[in-house]
Amino acid sequence: MKANRIRQNVFPVLAALIWGTAFVAQSVGADYVEPFTFNTARSAIAFLFLLVLCGVFSRLRRRDFSGEAQARPASRRDLMLGGVLCGVALTVATNLQQKGLETTSSGKAGFITALYIVIVPVVGLFLKKKAPGTIWISVVLAVAGLYCLCINEGFSVTSGDVYVMLCAFCFSAHILVIDHFTQKVDGVALSCVQFFVATVLSAVGMLVSESPSWSALLQCAGPILYVGIFSSGVAYTLQILAQKDSNPTVVSLLLSLESVFATLAGALLLHDRMSGREYFGCVLVLAAVILAQLPVPGRKQAKAAAGETH
């Protein structure tokens, strides 16, 4: 039980830290290559990284269980279907986000992307997923924090902000699809398949609408490798593993810490400046995440009572 608690809380925070710093790498990459080109490269690297990881895990399982455990046909079908659906949602989300980063700062994009913490519980209601009252208070705090950061005095929003807002809806779909399939298939394998799909779809978009250049890719090789291996390969796998047997709304709130890490990384590495209002927005989001993790009175007792009836 303790191990599950660590997985459900520490993994998404680690993923948020990686994603937050990756916004800086994505912002740098946007200066050299277009969105589909950047995401084709990062997804291909992530796929190869995860393919090797799947091979290592497979060999360990064969060694430990002498090859007795075989994947069921239904499991393979779920893996393919889940991988395709996750890959499509991820492709649309990451390319919208990368497009937005062409005109939006890394810190601001991080907070706008975190709108999925509002979208996930709302959509979850239609999927018959319950959320405790503290989650909704957290959502209100998070919305207030996003408002302080994103809306300027003239109540205007840039085109880059719109792209990133749209990506938040796609990331919400991504979280909910993962929540459905991670109960049925291996998390690392699911992540591997989704990045294969993302590579293919992004490559099609790149060849149709962009003019990729090897020299430009080499100029931003560092950011692409960081985003491909850590942000894509490691962090998305941590997300999938964290969501297994977890409340997707709580996980999404922890993942929203990426917005805070993105703002801090942008200030430290790119020297982006934040106003007092923006810092206040960071505080509100942090408060939302902490509140979401506080135990709800009566929940543990109810679970214990339910357990005694089995």
Tell me the Ramachandran region of residue 104: left when phi exceeds 0, alpha when psi lies from -120 to 50, beta otherwise. beta
Please, what is the average pLDDT of the chain? Answer: 80
Residues 258, 81: Cα–Cα separation, whole Å: 28
In this structure, what token pair is assigned to residue 301? 């007792």
**70-98: average pLDDT:** 85
Task: Give mean pLDDT, residues 264-279.
Answer: 78
- What pLDDT sits at residue 182? 79
* Model confidence band, residue 296 (pLDDT cutoffs 50, 70, 90): low
Q: What is the pTM of this model?
A: 0.78
For the chain, the residue count is: 310
Contact status, residue 142 vs residue 75, Cβ threshold 8 Å? no
Q: Who has greater pLDDT, 246 or 203? A: 203
Is the residue at 209 inside a domain? Answer: yes
Q: Determine, yes or no, domain membership for 136.
A: no
Structure tokens, 300 = 């543990």
In a domain, 286, yes or no: no
Q: Is the pLDDT of residue 83 over 90?
A: yes
299 has pLDDT over 90:
no
What is the reported pLDDT for 45? 95
Total number of domains in the chain: 1
**Greater model confidence, 310 or 140:** 140
pLDDT higher at 43 or 290: 43
Average pLDDT, stretch 31-58? 91
Which residues make Cβ contacts (< 8 Å) with residue 50, sequence separation at least 6?
188, 191, 192, 195, 233, 237
**In-domain check, residue 184:** yes
- Domain ranges, residue 20: 2-131+154-275
The predicted pLDDT at position 111 comes to 75
| Residue 194 banded pLDDT, cuts 50, 70, 90 | very high
Cβ-based neighbours of 152, under 8 Å, separated by 6 or more: none
Do 248 and 179 meet the contact criterion of CB atoms below 8 Å apart? yes
The arithmetic mean of pLDDT across residues 216-224, rounded, is 93
Residue 104, Cβ density class (10 Å: 0-12 exposed, 13-18 middle, ≥19 buried): buried
Stronger pLDDT, 240 or 165, i.e. the higher one? 165
To the nearest 10 degrees (0 to 180), the angle between helices 248-255 and 276-293 is 150
30 found inside a domain: yes
* Integer Cα distance of 200 and 209 in angstroms: 14
Confidence of residue 87 (pLDDT cuts 50, 70, 90): very high
Number of C-beta neighbours around residue 130 at 10 A: 10
pLDDT of 67 higher than 90: no
Mean pLDDT of 97-111: 84
Place of tokens 């919305």: 143
Q: Is residue 297 part of a domain?
A: no
Nearest C-alpha neighbor of 47 from the set 159, 178, 265, 202? 202
pLDDT-derived band at 42 (thresholds 50, 70, 90) equals: very high
Least confident range of 53-67, 132-146, 197-211, 259-273: 53-67
**280 within some domain:** no
- 8 Å CB contact between 148 and 281: yes
Q: Using one digit for the tens of pLDDT, what is the confidence trace for 142-180?
A: 888 877 876 665 556 678 888 998 998 998 888 888 888
Could you tell me if residue 253 is inside a domain?
yes
Res. 68 pLDDT band, cuts 50 70 90: very low
User: Once rounded to an integer, what is the mean pLDDT over residues 270-292?
Assistant: 77
The stretch 194-216 carries a mean pLDDT of 94
State residue 124's pLDDT score. 73
